[in-house]
């Protein structure tokens, strides 16, 4: 018979060894996005983390990298392709450079409201686009949200396209957006988001355009006086994965990632809706002059040629399918 103390000691070391093995087996997942830790993307990142860690019973742990610490969105998408980052929450801004089929989503004034945009992205067309990503070394996990984009600048109130004439406006690295701003008479300047605050501060550009969520999360009131609620384009976001990670997982594990991405998208959309309600007042409190009652007709007319240029290059099939849902 073994003495009691030795038996207990053996059991304890077995348990410790088991715990050590479990700890060793946990795979760390890196998740990157470009916004601050108080942003709607951060809310989505936390939901992703909680869901994945819970579903996998701790086999996967998620580390969130905020504020573009892994680079701008274009760089992070490249990182997914080569496996230097595992999960990225990104707008579709630079995504068209990788998956041209997604350019359609960035056409100005395409979606009328949040319900229509969410319905299209959660439907057949959204699923098809997510599947398409695998032709381009990316895994499309879920459609999330950035929000309707509005213009800010440091020069003047914008109430009509004529007011945007000659303004140097930072756009995302997206040819559809650049064309739309050119048509409005502005001077589009594509730039990665992490460079934007300094560019506004130093006057390299006069303005930028982003959803209320981003304007709030980035304290743009410190460098921009005017906000015009143009809502000129709906900006989707996507939760993307690296095929280098996901292709090596079992079906069950992969499904956990899809579920975590859906939970992330849901949490982000809720935060976008909340900030749409409360954000404008907050921006006014911080000194921004907000132009709310904008006649968007002249803006729609001004960007019309962007549609012709888009369809000449990418065809009109997807565009017509989205317009049918209006």
> What residue ranges bind ligand PAF (CB under 6 A)?
34-35, 73, 90-91, 93, 146, 172, 193, 210, 214, 235, 237
Contact indicator for 132, 109 with CB cutoff of 8 Å: no
Given the complex with ligand PAF, which of 73 and 86 has the nearer CB atom? 73
Residues 6+ apart with CB under 8 A from 163: 156, 157
In angstroms, rounded to a whole number, what is the distance separating the alpha carbons of residues 239 and 231?
Answer: 23
Distance CA 137, CA 304 (A): 33
Return the structure tokens found at 57. Answer: 């019973």
Residue, CB closest to ligand PAF: 91
Q: Is 133 helix (H, G, I), strand (E, B) or coil?
A: helix
Nearer to ligand PAF, 32 or 93 (CB): 93
* Nearest CA-CA partner of 209 in 290, 155, 149, 136: 149
The Cα–Cα gap between 139 and 80 comes to: 9
CA 174 from chain centre, in angstroms, equals: 14
62 to 85, 115, 268, 270, 322: CA distances (angstroms): 11, 31, 17, 22, 35
Nearer to ligand PAF, 52 or 192 (CB): 192
Give the shortest CB-192-to-ligand PAF separation in angstroms. Answer: 7
Among the listed residues 111, 172, 113, the one whose alpha carbon sits nearest the alpha carbon of residue 323 = 111
Distance separating alpha carbons of residues 45 and 258, to the nearest angstrom: 13
Shortest distance (Å) from residue 56 CB to ligand PAF: 27
> CA 184 to CA 304: how far, in whole Å?
10
CB of 189 to ligand PAF, least distance (A): 12
Cβ closest to ligand PAF, residue 40 vs residue 49: 40
Q: Output phi, psi for 186, to 5 deg.
A: -80, 170
Backbone angles phi, psi at 103, to 5 degrees: -55, -35
Instruction: CB nearer to ligand PAF: give 214 or 216.
Output: 214
CA-based nearest residue to 79, from 6, 137, 12, 18: 137
We find the least distance from the C-beta atom of residue 237 to ligand PAF, in angstroms, to be 6
* Closest CB 71 distance from ligand PAF, rounded Å: 11
């Amino acid at each position: 018979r073994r003495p009691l103390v030795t038996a207990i000691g053996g059991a304890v070391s077995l348990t410790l060894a088991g715990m050590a093995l479990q700890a060793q087996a946990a795979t760390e997942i890196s998740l990157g996005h470009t916004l601050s830790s108080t942003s709607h993307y951060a809310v989505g990142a936390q939901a992703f983390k909680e869901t994945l860690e819970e579903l996998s019973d701790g086999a996967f742990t998620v580390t969130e990298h905020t504020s573009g610490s892994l680079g701008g969105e274009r760089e992070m998408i490249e990182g997914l392709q080569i496996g230097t980052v595992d999960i990225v929450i990104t707008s579709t801004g630079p995504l068209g450079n990788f998956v041209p089929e997604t350019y359609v989503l960035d056409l100005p004034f395409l979606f009328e409201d949040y319900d229509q945009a969410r319905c299209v992205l959660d439907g057949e067309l959204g699923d098809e686009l997510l599947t398409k990503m695998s032709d381009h070394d990316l895994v499309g996990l879920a459609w999330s949200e950035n929000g309707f984009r509005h213009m800010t600048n440091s020069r003047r109130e914008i109430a009509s396209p004529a007011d945007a004439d000659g303004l140097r406006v930072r756009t995302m690295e997206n040819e559809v957006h650049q064309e739309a701003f050119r048509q409005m008479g502005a001077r589009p300047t594509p730039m990665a988001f992490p460079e934007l605050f300094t560019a506004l501060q130093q006057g390299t550009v006069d303005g930028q355009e982003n959803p209320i969520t981003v304007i709030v999360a980035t304290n743009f009131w410190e460098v921009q006086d005017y906000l015009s609620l143009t809502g000129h384009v709906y900006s989707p976001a996507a939760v993307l994965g690296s095929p280098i990670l996901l292709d090596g997982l079992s079906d069950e594990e992969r499904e956990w990632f899809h579920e975590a991405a859906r939970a992330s998208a849901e949490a982000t959309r809720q935060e976008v809706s909340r900030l749409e309600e409360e954000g404008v007042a907050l921006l006014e409190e911080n000194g921004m002059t907000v132009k709310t009652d904008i006649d968007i007709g002249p803006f729609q007319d001004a960007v019309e040629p962007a549609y012709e240029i888009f369809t000449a290059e990418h065809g009109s099939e997807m565009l017509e399918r989205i317009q049918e849902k209006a």
